[in-house]
Amino acid sequence: MASKRRARKNHQQSKSISYNQEIKVKENNSQRLDRWLESLNVLVGEIASVEVNTSLVEKITTEKFLPWQVYQEVYAISRPNLEKLNIHSSLWEHYLSLRRQLELDYAFLLVDPKSELYDEKASKQIKQDLAILTQPNNEWENLQSRLPNPLDSDNQPIMLALHQLLQDYPFLRTLRKLGELKHILDQRNQVLWQSKSADIIYAQTRIQLGGQISNCYDQKLLSHPHQDKILELHRQGVEAGEKHWQGLLEFIITIVHNHK
Lowest mean pLDDT, pick from 37-46, 148-157, 202-211: 37-46
- Long-range CB pairs of 62-67, under 8 A, 24+ apart, other chains included: 63/183, 65/176, 65/179, 67/166, 67/172, 67/175
Distance of CA 192 to the CA centre of its chain: 27
pLDDT at residue 211 greater than cutoff 80: no
235: left (phi over 0), alpha (psi -120 to 50) or beta: alpha
pLDDT for 25 equals 47
The model's pTM is 0.64
User: Which one is predicted more confidently, 24 or 253?
Assistant: 253
pLDDT for 63 equals 67
User: Which one is predicted more confidently, 60 or 115?
Assistant: 115
- Rounded CA-CA distance 123/114 in Å is 13
| pLDDT, averaged across the chain | 82
Q: Please, what's the largest Cα pairwise distance for the chain?
A: 100
Which of 60, 89, 49 lies closest to 208 in space, CA to CA?
49
Proportion of the chain above pLDDT 90, given as a percent: 43
3-state SS class at 93: helix
pLDDT for 56 equals 73
Answer for the pair 18, 178: CB distance below 8 angstroms, yes or no. no
The CB density around residue 95, as the number of other CB atoms within 10 Å, is 23
Backbone angles phi, psi at 96, to 5 degrees: -65, -30
Cα distances (angstroms) measured from residue 180 to each of 27, 71, 108, 111, 115: 35, 12, 21, 27, 25
User: Which one is predicted more confidently, 195 or 164?
Assistant: 164
- Taking only the tens place, the pLDDT of each residue in 12-39 is 555 555 545 555 445 555 566 566 556 5
Neighbouring-strand partners of residue 124? none
Mean pLDDT, residues 62-85 taken together: 92
pLDDT for 87 equals 95
- Taking only the tens place, the pLDDT of each residue in 121-178 is 998 999 999 999 998 888 999 999 999 999 998 899 999 999 999 999 889 989 999 9
Q: Computed from CA positions of residues 66, 71, 77, 81, in that sequence, does the dihedral angle turn out positive or negative?
A: negative
How many CA atoms are closer than 13 Å to the CA of 20, on its beta-carbon side?
A: 6
How many CA atoms are closer than 13 Å to the CA of 192, on its beta-carbon side?
A: 13
| Of 107-111, 133-137, 239-243, highest mean pLDDT | 107-111
- Confidence band of 46 (pLDDT split at 50, 70, 90): low
User: Which one is predicted more confidently, 252 or 81?
Assistant: 81
- Rounded CA-CA distance 153/132 in Å is 29
Sheet of 201-208, strands arranged across: 49-55, 201-208, 213-217
Answer for the pair 206, 51: CB distance below 8 angstroms, yes or no. yes
